Amino acid sequence: MSEKPTLPKGTRDFGPEIMVKRNFIFNNIRLVFEKFGFMSLETPSMENLNVLTGKYGDEGDQLLFKILNSGDYLSKTNQEDYNKGAKEMLSKISKKGLRYDLTVPFARYVVMNQHNITFPFKRYQIQPVWRADRPQKGRYQEFYQCDADVVGTSSLICESEIIQMINEVFQKLKINDYTIKINHRGILTGIVELIGAKGKEADFFVAIDKLDKIGFNRVLEELSSKNFSSDSLNKLKPFFDIKSDINGKITFLKNVFSANSSGYKGVEDIEAILNYIASSGVESSHLNLDFTLARGLSYYTGAIFEVKVNNSSIGSVSGGGRYDNLTGVFGLPNVTGVGFSFGVDRIYDVMEELDIFPKETTSSTEVLVTNFDNVSEKHAIKILSSLRIAGIKSEIYPESVKLKKQMNYADKKNIPYVLLIGEEEIKNQQYTLKNMNNGSQNKLPLDEIIKTLANH
RNA sequence: GUGGUUGUAGUUCAGUUGGUUAGAACGCCUGAUUGUGGUUCAGGAGGUCGCGGGUUCGAGUCCCGUCUCCCACCCCA
C-alpha cells in the first residue's frame, strides 16, 4: 500500500527554477553584507529550550517548535506531571527547540565567545528559522532570514550603513518602489510621556502600529478602550496630523520634545543617522520618518526600521533596530548592538508578484552541445571540455536522440545557445552555433565560439 | 491560538435537483519534419474527485471527522 506523500504545513520544496531565483536574491544580499565588512556565521538549527524561551514574549514562546526527547520520552514523567498541564509537562519531555530567529542564537554565540571576539563584531547569518504560526500568504512555518548585526558599538554610523545596505540590495534586485520606515523608541517613549500615559507603552505601541491598516479613528477607539484619557488622545493628534517631509518632522519633534529627554535623544539620533547618510553621498529618497512604526514589544531600545515594498500585498520584507542589552539575559550586560534582517521568502513573493526577476536569472547553462551519434559524441565531449576550461557553463545532451528533442530540451531550459557538432562540422573544424533567442546560426571555429560565448 | 473559506488530470478550472464510461483549456508524449526548438495540424497518455468514515439502490455532488491551502484576528519576515 503506497500512500501519497505530502509536505508539512507551512513548508515548501524549492525546485530548480525557483532556486535559480532564490539564489539570485541570496547572492546579492551576501555580496552587499560582505562589501560592508560583515563576516559569515552559522549556528545550529536547534538550541536548548532555555536559550529560546522567554526571549520573544508569551506569544513567541507559543510559536516555538519543541523537539521531543529521544528514547522513551515519557519515562521521566508521572501522572502528577500530566495533571499539572502542558507547560509543566513540557520541561520533562522536551529539552530542545528549533530556532525562532537568528538574533537570539547570535546573542548566545557572542556571550559564549566573548573572550575570542574582537569588538565591534560584525556578523551576517543566512539560515532558515521555524515558527509554529498559522500559515498565510507570505507567512511560512519554515523561512529564511538574512541577518546582519554589529555589536559592541553605539555609533550611529552602523544605522546609516544599514539604510545604505538596504538601498543597495534593492537596487541590485531592481526593486524600485519601496519605503524604509524609520522611527526611534525614544520618540515613541517621548510621545507616551507627553500625552501623560506613562506606563502604558505596551498598549500604545500595539495600537499605533495598526494605524496604516485600520486608520486613525479606530486607533483612537482602541486606545480609549485601553483607558487612555480623551485629554491624552487630543494631545496625540498633532503627531499624526503633520504632513511635512522628514526634515520638517525633525524640526517639529525637536520643538515638542524640548523638555523631554528620551524624545529629544531619539530625534537627535535620527538626525545624526540622516547626516551620516548625507555624508556618504547616497540618496535617501526612500526614507520616511514614521511615528507609527513600533515593531512589537521586543528588545529594541533605539532606532527601529522596517521596509515595505509598495504596491504589493506582502507585508514587511525587512526590519531591525538597535538593542542595548540583548546579551544581558545570558549574563553579559551592556553590550549594545544594532541589526536587521531580510526576509528572502517574502522578497521572492514580492518579486514574483511584481514580475521583476531578470530573465537571465532563469537560466544557468549557457550552451547545449548536441549529440548526433557515437562518432560525433566523442568529438563533442572534447569540445565540451574546452568550453568548460574557458569557464563557460555548458552541458552535452547525454543521449544521441533526435535533434528535435535536444533542441526542445534547450528551449525548455532556457539555454541561450546550442552548439551542433555533426559529421560535416567535424570534417571542417567549424561548428554550428545557434542563437536560440533569434534563431540565427553560423559556422565558426572553436576559438571564435568561445569568444562569442564568453562575451555573452 | 480564535473564527471563516478551499481542495476534481502536471497546472488553471467546469461538472445541472445525488443517476451509465468525470470534462475543457494550457502543459506533456508521438507523428507530419530519420540535422534544427518557440508557430500550425493530426493522434495519444494522464484522475481511488485531499484523506477517512457515514447516509443512499446509487456520492465528485449530502452529512461528520481529519489534513492542506487561503482569508480575517493575534503576531510577524
In this prediction, residues A374-385 reach a mean pLDDT of 94
Residue A240 belongs to some domain of the structure: yes
Q: pLDDT at residue A90 above 70?
A: yes
CB A120 within 8 A of CB A66: no
Look-up of cell digits 538550541: A47
Q: Are residues A334 and A371 in the same domain?
A: no
Element (H, E) at A182: strand A178-184
pLDDT top residue among A415 and A358: A415
Rounded CA separation A207/A294 (Å): 9
pLDDT of A297 reads 57
> Are A347 and A368 contained in the same domain?
no
Give the contacts of A311 (CB within 8 A, at least 6 positions apart): A177, A354
Q: How far is the CA of A294 from the C1' of B45 (A)?
A: 57
Whether the beta carbon of A120 falls within 7 A of nucleic chain B: the reply is no
| Alpha carbons A339 and A145: distance in angstroms, whole number | 12
Which nucleotide lies at the shortest CA–C1' distance from A8? Answer: B68
Residue A275: pLDDT over 90: yes
For range A291-311, the mean pLDDT: 84
> Mean per-residue pLDDT for A244-271?
93
**Strand locations in A16-152 (E):** 39-40, 46-48, 66-68, 94-98, 121-130, 142-151
Other beta carbons within 10 angstroms of residue A10's beta carbon come to 17
Given pLDDT bands bounded at 50, 70 and 90, which one contains residue A3? Answer: low
pLDDT attached to residue A279? 93
pLDDT at A361 over 80: no
Q: Which nucleotide is nearest to A294 (CA to C1')?
A: B76
Contact A397, A368 (CB under 8 A): yes
Mean pLDDT of A280-305: 84
Secondary structure (3-state) at A3: coil
Distance from C-alpha of A350 to C-alpha of A174, rounded to nearest angstrom? 12
Strand B atom within 7 Å of A4 CB: yes
Please check whether residues A442 and A310 belong to one and the same domain: no
Q: Which of A309, A329, A354 is the last residue of a domain?
A: A354
Whether A3 is in a domain gets the answer: no
Q: What confidence score (pLDDT) does residue A128 get?
A: 96
Domain of residue A95: give its range: 16-354
Position A357 scores a pLDDT of 83
Compute the mean pLDDT over every residue in chain A, rounded to the nearest whole number: 89
Query: What ipTM score was computed for the predicted complex, to two decimals?
Result: 0.83
pLDDT band at A296 (very low <50, low <70, confident <90, very high): low
Average pLDDT over residues A54-81: 84
A400 shares its domain with A319: no
Domain end position, chosen among A354, A381, A413:
A354
| DSSP codes, A353-412 | HHT---GGGG----EEE---SHHHHHHHHHHHHHHHHTT--EEE-SS---HHHHHHHHHH
- Does residue A171 contact residue A46 with C-beta atoms inside 8 Å? no
* Together in a domain, A41 and A150: yes
Residue A293 to residue A312: CA distance in whole angstroms? 19
Q: What H or E segment, with its residue span, contains residue A241?
A: helix A230-241
Regarding whether A309 and A391 lie in a shared domain, the answer is no
Does residue A310 surpass a pLDDT of 60?
yes
Q: Are A275 and A315 found together in one domain?
A: yes
- In-domain check, residue A11: no
A2 inside domain: no
Range A24-40 average pLDDT: 96
**pTM of the shown model:** 0.87
Cβ count within 10 A of residue A449: 24
The number of residues making up chain A comes to 456
Confidence check: pLDDT of A406 > 80? yes
| Number of domains into which chain A is organized | 2
Cα dihedral A201/A203/A205/A208 (nearest 10): -130
Confirm whether A312 is domain-assigned.
Answer: yes
Say which nucleotide is closest to residue A103, CA to C1' distance: B77
Nearest-nucleotide field for A141 (CA, C1'): B77
Q: Which of residues 217-276 of A touch strand B (CB under 7 A)?
A: none
In a domain, residue A234? The reply is: yes
Q: Is the C-beta of residue A402 closer than 7 Å to nucleic acid chain B?
A: yes
Contact A140, A12 (CB under 8 A): yes
CATH number at residue A368: 3.40.50.800
In order of A5, A13, A171, A203, the CA distances from A2 in angstroms are 9, 21, 49, 53
What does the pLDDT average to over A250-264?
93
User: Who contacts A305 (Cβ-Cβ below 8 Å, separation ≥6)?
Assistant: A162, A163, A180, A181, A182, A183, A293, A319, A320, A321, A340
- Strand B lies under 7 A from the Cβ of residue A427: no
Residue A288 lies inside a defined structural domain of this protein: yes
> Do A334 and A405 share a structural domain?
no
- Mean pLDDT of the A156-173 span: 95
Last residue of a domain, one of A319, A336, A354: A354
A359 CB-to-strand B distance under 7 Å: no
The answer to whether the CB of A309 falls within 8 A of the CB of A177 is yes
A320 touches strand B (CB under 7 A): no
Q: Are residues A346 and A373 in the same domain?
A: no
Which 8-state DSSP code applies to residue A134? P
Residue A58 sits in the same domain as residue A192: yes
A7 within some domain: no
pLDDT per residue as tens digits for the range A115-130: 999 999 999 999 999 9
Average pLDDT in the A317-321 region? 92
For A317, the grid coordinates are 520584507
A404 CA, B32 C1': separation in Å? Answer: 14
Mean pLDDT on A215-240: 86
Is nucleic acid strand B under 7 Å from A420's C-beta?
Answer: yes
Q: Are residues A327 and A376 in the same domain?
A: no
Q: What single-letter amino acid sits at A348?
A: Y
Pairing mode, strands A367-369 and A337-343: unpaired
Q: Would strands A318-323 and A367-369 be described as parallel, antiparallel, or unpaired?
A: unpaired
Q: Please check the confidence at residue A1 and state whether its pLDDT lies above 50.
A: no
Report the C-alpha dihedral over residues A368, A370, A371, A377, rounded to 10 degrees.
-80
Indicate if CB(A315) is under 7 A from strand B.
yes
> Would you say A362 and A20 are in contact if contact means Cβ atoms under 8 Å apart?
yes
Please give the pLDDT value at position A2: 44
Model confidence at A238: pLDDT above 60 = yes
Q: Are residues A332 and A399 in the same domain?
A: no
Q: Label residue A428 by pLDDT band (50, 70, 90).
A: very high
Judge contact between A344 and A175, C-beta under 8 A.
no
pLDDT mean over A349-354: 84
Q: Shortest CA–C1' contact from A401: which nucleotide?
A: B34
Q: Which helix or strand (DSSP H or E) is residue A294 part of?
A: none
Q: At what angle do helices A185-194 and A246-256 cross, to 10 degrees?
A: 50
Taking the C-alpha atoms of residue A232 and residue A222, their distance in angstroms, rounded to an integer, is 13
Q: Which nucleotide is nearest to A426 (CA to C1')?
A: B35
Q: Give yes or no for residue A101 having a pLDDT over 50.
A: yes
Going by pLDDT thresholds of 50, 70 and 90, the confidence category of residue A298 is low
Residue A296 is part of a domain; what is its CATH number? Answer: 3.30.930.10
Per-residue pLDDT at A364 exceeds 80: no
**Cβ contact A206 with chain B strand, < 7 A:** yes
